[in-house]
């Protein structure tokens, strides 16, 4: 994505956030203080900042995106709010690797980006690898059909659907 497109997307998200608070969607993921959260495909960080406030000083948020401007936007927003619990990760879109330790994340957020990933299988393997046992994958996609989401996430047995909250699907990591 070109820098100009990222900036335009960021501006659209700022408008969206004025009408619908990102906290509404984040709260559906039931994030708690002290948790470690991976916001995968975080873009300019609308949800990242909300999550950082929810997990507090004892928690950690990893904000992962393929675009280098994402990191700059998030760091500026975190600085403005005095948040020190966000770490940005630049993702190689072809590999989907986060560089995070095995079983180090309590919750993964995937909000409206899963449909854009070309190698969904490698991404699911990476998510499974970094999630703690009984970890949560909160996925929200308005660009995929429900049956497609459910089959792509659950068919390989790495994740099980626990709950659906509107267009958000809450999956748990399965042993493996």
Please tell me the distance from the alpha carbon of residue 124 to that of residue 102, in angstroms, as a whole number: 14
Q: Please, which residues have CB within 8 angstroms of residue 123's CB and are 6 or more apart in sequence?
A: 40, 96, 114, 117
Please tell me the distance from the alpha carbon of residue 50 to that of residue 20, in angstroms, as a whole number: 13
pTM of the predicted protein model: 0.91
Can you list the positions of beta strands (E) in the chain? 36-40, 60-65, 86-90, 105-111, 131-140, 159-165, 168-173
Please tell me the distance from the alpha carbon of residue 85 to that of residue 63, in angstroms, as a whole number: 10
The two tokens of residue 174 are 């399965």
pLDDT at 10: 64
pLDDT at 172: 97
Q: Which domains, ranges and CATH numbers included, belong to the chain?
A: 3-173 (3.40.50.150)
pLDDT at 15: 67
| pLDDT per residue rounded down to tens, the chain (176 residues) | 677 776 776 667 776 667 777 888 899 999 999 999 999 999 888 899 999 999 999 999 999 999 888 999 999 999 999 999 999 999 987 788 999 999 999 999 999 888 888 899 999 999 999 999 999 999 998 778 889 999 999 999 999 999 999 889 999 999 87
């Amino acid at each position: 994505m070109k820098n100009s497109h990222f900036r335009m997307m960021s501006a659209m998200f700022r408008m969206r956030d004025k009408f619908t608070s990102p906290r509404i969607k984040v709260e559906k993921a039931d994030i708690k203080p002290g948790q470690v959260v991976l916001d995968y495909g975080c873009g300019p960080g609308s949800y990242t900042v909300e999550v950082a406030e929810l997990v507090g000083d004892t928690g950690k948020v990893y904000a992962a995106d393929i675009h280098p401007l994402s990191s700059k936007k998030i760091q500026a927003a975190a600085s403005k709010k005095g948040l020190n619990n966000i770490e940005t990760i630049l993702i190689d879109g072809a590999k989907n690797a986060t560089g995070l330790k095995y079983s180090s994340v309590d919750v993964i957020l995937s909000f409206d980006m899963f449909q854009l990933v070309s190698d969904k299988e490698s991404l699911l393997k990476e998510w499974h690898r970094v999630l703690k046992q009984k970890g949560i994958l909160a996925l929200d996609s308005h660009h995929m059909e429900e049956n497609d989401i459910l089959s792509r996430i659950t068919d390989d047995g790495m994740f099980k659907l626990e709950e659906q909250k509107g267009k958000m699907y809450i999956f748990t990591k399965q042993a493996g």
